[in-house]
Amino acid sequence: MNILGIAGSLRKDSLNKKLLAYAASVARDMGREIRIADLGGVPLYNADVEAAGLPPGVVAFRDDLKQADAVVIATPEYNNSFPGVLKNAIDWGSSKGNCWDGKVVALMGATPGNFGTVLAQAQLRNIFCILNAVVVPTPFVYVPRAHEAFDADGTLNNSMAAENLKNLLTRLFEVTEALKTRR
């Protein structure tokens, strides 16, 4: 099973990159690998740029997305929504042939606030429905006060979020395998 991980933040010390790295370590313990995409080389979507030829960072991202059976997304929540870098990646992935079509998507998110990433994830669910992706419905993985949620070694110390994350990955693997056998 080919699983791609995407963090919706470009920051070096991003809480969502930490969450995605933790998810990758949990997946490894479960016998699966999550390859982490780098969105740093993906420019802002521009139809004129697209018409002139896809930039190398976009080609690499789209190739990663095409190869993936499933995608794990860790998103911050900015101003009650998800960040532009993630919207940009979604747009590049859906132009000139929808690379999201049929992908199984698991959503999670971390934020320093107390509310988690409830609104950002709800908006992403709507978008992926339009793109014909299958979003794993539950459990929800919200990591509030995320600046306090990781140990020095990157372990998620929020026990409820850690349990939900493991269960979300289990569901992601089950749904992805079930859909692969039906194709």
Peptide bond before residue 55 is cis, with ω within 30 degrees of 0: no
Please give the helix or strand (H or E) that residue 19 lies within, else none.
Answer: helix 15-29
Q: Distance (Å, rounded) from C-alpha 174 to C-alpha 25?
A: 18
DSSP bridge partners of 134: 104
* pLDDT tens-place string over residues 112-166: 988 889 999 999 999 999 999 999 999 999 999 999 999 999 999 999 999 999 9
Query: DSSP class of residue 98?
Result: -
Model-level pTM? Answer: 0.96
Cα torsion through 130, 72, 143, 157, rounded to 10: 170
Query: What CA–CA distances, in Å, run from 150 to 43, 74, 110?
Result: 30, 15, 11
Residues 168 and 183: their CA atoms lie apart, in Å, by: 23
89-102 per-position pLDDT tens digit: 999 999 989 999 99
How big is the CA angle at 62 (ends 166 and 8), to the nearest 5 degrees?
45
Q: How confident is the model at residue 49 (pLDDT cuts 50, 70, 90)?
A: very high
Rg (CA), the chain: 16
Within a 10 A sphere around the Cβ of 91, how many other Cβ atoms? Answer: 15
Q: Please give the DSSP secondary-structure letter assigned to residue 37.
A: P
